[in-house]
Structure 1
């Protein structure tokens, strides 16, 4: 993190954006893989039942807001991205939401690094 803090603001933003994009996107893919793997087990009935259908519907509709908003929190980000994958949120909805969230997260952290660097130089 010290190396990122020493980068100029734009470069720090780009590095942080790429890191969070890969991490959150990977978490989404893990959720999708978990759902696929779960269908091969005794959980198949629960994963394709009415509750999961409702969860998929809610994720598709409101996950578009939940995913980027989760980047403003601590500890919810992973759960939001994993559940988006687990409920099979369509990629055409997930990726734009992910991009917005990554911009938010990278801007916050790049700004914090810049602020901390400025404070440490005083």
Structure 2
């Protein structure tokens, strides 16, 4: 079976449902792994760090405002696992986490059932024509991202009491 869902011959809703089930299971497994990591940290030398007021405030912030980050992370590449793990480690409440992960999983399933694999097919076609073009395009994208991050850091206000 090909990895391209457009060749499966499945009805579109079935393809979206299959992707949804896979991603919602993966995301929740990552969340619960984060919970296990947290439980282990509570029984280690890191327990003192977890009890600090700053860490407790950060946990409260993650619980209160982390749900949108969970949802949006599904529209990124390489970030969603870290965000779901952080939600687990930060003990985000399930009543906030689960709706966010369901919405994010629906978005992810829709993207990967449609344009996600079109993009992959385009990269594969370009690779067949010239692997160097794919490498050059990837390097260009990496440089543009790096330039954006550097520019954003320079524009960010300086934290009080620090000097660059």
What range is the shorter-chain TM-score in? Answer: 0.7 to 0.9
Partner Cα distance (1:37, 1:23) in 2: 21
RMSD, matched Cα: 1.9
Question: 1:30 pairs with 28, 33, 50, which one?
Answer: 33
Structure 1 segment 96-111 matched on structure 2, within 5 A: 96-111=99-114
Instruction: Give aligned pairs, total.
Output: 117
Unaligned runs of 5+ in 2: 123-164
Deviation at 1:113, TM superposition (A): 6.3
- Measured after TM superposition, the shift of residue 8 of structure 1 is 2.2
TM-score, normalised on structure 2?
0.66
Quote the Cα distance in structure 2 between the aligned partners of 1:36 and 1:51: 19
- Aligned counterpart in structure 2 of residue 48 of structure 1, from 44, 47, 51: 51
Q: Which residue of 2 aligns with 1:11?
A: 14
In structure 1, stretches of 5+ residues that fail to align are: none
Over 4 Å off, 4+ runs: 113-116
User: Which of 29, 39, 44 pairs up with 2:42?
Assistant: 39
Distance 1:50 1:4 in 2: 48
